[in-house]
């Protein structure tokens, strides 16, 4: 092997390592490691990849990475703009604009605040902030809901507020109290809410909460009145406070049909077992509908599929990521059912559970035994969803997979892939079961088909050239899909 080819292989491994981290890691506490170790590990990876593989670092914005790492990449690219060529800056500008358009606004405003604190104020940064703010659908809504963030962005980038309202948005932000009333209904509702209870109902929920407390409004009555103005996530967060009509009833105001698959799985696991039992058909139907939407054109195309699903005690996650690993496994089992041919899916939980709606995190992780059981069914694909901590006995799954690949199935008639929802801070990657089986990080089950494609690069059957070609295709698709900021 030449020096160049060896260097290419090392670079490809570094890229895959970073992609896995960017998908799974958020710098928060996990079951096996604390937040500080997670943050240190992630800090090192971002600095290492940005310095050594800047083109790949930027291209990661086009992949299904989580919002936390997308924001960190954008900040890194803007803060160290001097390290990029003119051509790289143009590509980065398009990627940044497309990614910012996908992010929740509160994360973008927080990013702008961090850029101001770091004194990043070059022309490209100001143009990105200007174009993102110009594309916001309702500046007045942002002025009320994200007042501090919008003020910070306007000041930092020296922007003019072209709100078409004769400058009243600027007066609202920087000279409150100057105008006796505002022509924009939402701005005037904020003004009136200081002394008028009826105006509280006209405000976004998070802003209305503060005014409701100031006026001494009863919490339950306030929440009931605000349901039409709540987002889906706000309804989920307040469902416990609103309560249910009976101990076995689903909380009111929750739209199961419109929820994404992994979010729905998290919601299902948050319900008491009694509620899950009494509403089993309704919850299972909603999960299957969400899985069919997530499968899209891949539905029914995977043939015979078996899955080993980790519901051991470590799948309980942490205080910051409560039941997240188990929710990913639950979402994956319904998605794999949709991807498999009709009546050709075999799910195997590590606990031996038979009803996915009633799973809970408990017990050890006998992955090796479950992998053997799955292979006995003769599937065309085997998918393992686990944090990789095989402990009953330790290492059995890795040995089973090694023997299977080297002795029993060297021709790889059965496709085996391991997807891991937990970042391992000590290893700077997701924990792997065996070098013989590709492993990919996963955060949302909806990304499973794309992650299986990425996992093939870690198996060694495709080279670095194919990996970089794949990244280039993803960048082209991503930039074309979100044309904002094409001139940056």
pLDDT in tens, 146-184: 999 999 999 888 887 755 554 788 889 888 878 889 999
Query: Which candidate, 209, 263, 198, places its Cα nearest to that of 238?
Result: 209
Q: How far is CA 456 from CA 383, 418, 460, 473, in A?
A: 13, 11, 7, 16
Q: What pTM was computed for the model?
A: 0.86
Alpha-carbon gap, residue 82 to 277, rounded angstroms: 58
Residue 228: the pLDDT is 82
* b/e per residue 111-144 (b: at least 16 CB within 10 A): bbebbbeeebeeebbbbbbbbbbeeeeebbbbbb
- SS3 state of residue 424: strand
Residue 417 and residue 452 in contact, taking contact as beta carbons nearer than 8 Å: yes
pLDDT at residue 222 greater than cutoff 80 = yes
Burial of 296 (0-12, 13-18, 19+ CB in 10 A): exposed
Residue 382: the pLDDT is 95
Residue 103: the pLDDT is 95
Alpha-carbon gap, residue 237 to 241, rounded angstroms: 8
Long-range contacts made by residues 158-165, C-beta under 8 angstroms, separation at least 24?
158/126, 159/126, 159/129, 159/130, 159/133, 162/134, 163/139, 165/140
Confidence of residue 220 (pLDDT cuts 50, 70, 90): confident
Query: Which candidate, 212, 282, 276, 263, places its Cα nearest to that of 241?
Result: 212
pLDDT at residue 341 greater than cutoff 60 = yes
Residue 221: the pLDDT is 86
Alpha-carbon gap, residue 182 to 175, rounded angstroms: 13
Residue 9: the pLDDT is 64
Give, to the nearest 10 degrees, the angle between helix 105-117 and helix 147-157.
40
Instruction: Please count the other Cβ atoms lying within 10 Å of the Cβ belonging to residue 8.
Output: 17
pLDDT at residue 6 greater than cutoff 70 = no
Would you list the domain boundaries of the chain?
Answer: 193-244, 267-462
Residue 484: the pLDDT is 42
Confidence of residue 488 (pLDDT cuts 50, 70, 90): very low
Q: How far is CA 35 from CA 30, 184, 222, 345, 425, in A?
A: 7, 44, 36, 37, 9
Place of tokens 């020296």: 158
Query: What number does CATH give the domain 267-462?
Result: 3.40.50.410
Report the pLDDT averaged over residues 311-321. 90
Residue 7: the pLDDT is 67
Query: Which candidate, 262, 255, 211, 210, places its Cα nearest to that of 236?
Result: 255
Choice among 35-39, 55-59, 101-105, 243-247 with the minimum mean pLDDT: 243-247
pLDDT at residue 373 greater than cutoff 50 = yes
Look over the chain and give the mean of its residue pLDDT values, rounded to a whole number: 87
Query: Which candidate, 206, 245, 233, 236, places its Cα nearest to that of 222?
Result: 206
Alpha-carbon gap, residue 288 to 421, rounded angstroms: 21
Residue 35: the pLDDT is 87
Report the pLDDT averaged over residues 39-47. 94
Residues present in the chain in total: 488
Instruction: Please count the other Cβ atoms lying within 10 Å of the Cβ belonging to residue 159.
Output: 15
Structure-token pair, residue 254: 């929750």
Residue 191: the pLDDT is 93
pLDDT at residue 461 greater than cutoff 70 = no
The dihedral of CA 8, 475, 416, 384: what is its sign? positive
pLDDT at residue 253 greater than cutoff 60 = no
Residue 12: the pLDDT is 76
Choice among 42-51, 60-69, 448-457 with the minimum mean pLDDT: 448-457
Confidence of residue 312 (pLDDT cuts 50, 70, 90): very high
Residue 318: the pLDDT is 87
Rg of the chain in Å (alpha carbons): 25
* b/e per residue 390-422 (b: at least 16 CB within 10 A): bebeeebbbebbbebbeeeeeeeebbbbbbbbb
pLDDT in tens, 376-394: 999 999 999 999 998 888 8
pLDDT in tens, 68-99: 999 999 999 999 998 888 989 999 999 999 99
pLDDT at residue 405 greater than cutoff 60 = yes
């Amino acid at each position: 092997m030449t020096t160049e080819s060896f260097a290419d292989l090392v670079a490809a491994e570094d890229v895959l390592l970073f992609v896995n981290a960017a998908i799974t890691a958020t710098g928060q506490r996990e079951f096996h490691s604390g937040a500080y170790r997670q943050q240190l590990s992630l800090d090192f990876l971002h600095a290492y990849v940005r310095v050594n593989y800047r083109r790949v670092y930027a291209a990661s914005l086009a992949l299904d990475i989580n919002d936390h790492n997308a924001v960190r990449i954008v900040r890194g690219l803007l803060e160290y703009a001097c390290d990029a060529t003119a051509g790289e800056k143009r590509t980065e500008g398009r990627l940044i604009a497309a990614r910012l358009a996908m992010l929740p606004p509160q994360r973008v405003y927080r990013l702008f605040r961090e850029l101001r604190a770091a004194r990043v104020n070059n022309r490209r940064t100001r143009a990105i902030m200007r174009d993102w703010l110009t594309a916001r659908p309702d500046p007045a809504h942002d002025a009320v809901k994200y007042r501090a963030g919008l003020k910070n962005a306007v000041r930092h980038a020296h922007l003019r507020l072209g709100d078409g309202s004769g400058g009243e948005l600027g007066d609202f932000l920087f000279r409150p109290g100057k105008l006796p009333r505002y022509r924009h209904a939402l701005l005037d509702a904020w003004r009136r809410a200081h002394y008028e209870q009826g105006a509280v109902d006209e405000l976004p929920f998070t802003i209305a909460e503060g005014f409701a407390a100031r006026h001494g409004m009863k919490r339950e009555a306030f929440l009931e009145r605000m349901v039409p103005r709540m987002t889906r996530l706000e309804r989920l967060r307040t469902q416990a406070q609103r309560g249910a009509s009976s101990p076995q009833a689903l909380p009111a105001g929750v739209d199961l049909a419109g929820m994404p698959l992994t979010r729905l799985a998290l919601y299902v696991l948050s319900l008491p077992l009694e509620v899950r039992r009494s509403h089993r058909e309704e919850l299972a139907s909603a999960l299957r509908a969400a899985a069919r939407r997530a499968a899209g054109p891949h539905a029914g195309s995977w043939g015979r599929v078996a899955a080993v699903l980790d519901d051991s005690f470590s799948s309980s996650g942490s205080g910051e990521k409560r039941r997240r690993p188990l929710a990913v496994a639950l979402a994956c089992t319904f998605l794999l059912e949709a991807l498999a041919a009709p009546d050709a899916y075999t799910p195997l939980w590590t606990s031996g559970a038979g009803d996915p709606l009633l799973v809970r995190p408990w017990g050890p992780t006998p992955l090796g035994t479950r992998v053997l059981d799955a292979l006995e069914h003769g599937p065309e694909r085997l998918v393992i969803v686990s944090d990789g901590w095989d402990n009953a006995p330790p290492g059995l799954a890795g040995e089973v997979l090694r023997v299977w690949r080297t002795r029993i199935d060297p021709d790889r008639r059965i496709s085996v892939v391991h997807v891991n929802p937990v970042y391992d801070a000590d290893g700077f990657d997701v924990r792997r079961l065996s070098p013989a089986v590709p492993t990919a990080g996963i955060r949302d089950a909806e990304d499973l088909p794309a992650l299986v494609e990425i996992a093939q690069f870690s198996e060694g059957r495709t080279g670095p050239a194919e990996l970089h070609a794949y990244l280039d295709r993803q960048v082209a698709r991503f930039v074309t899909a979100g044309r904002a900021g094409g001139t940056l």
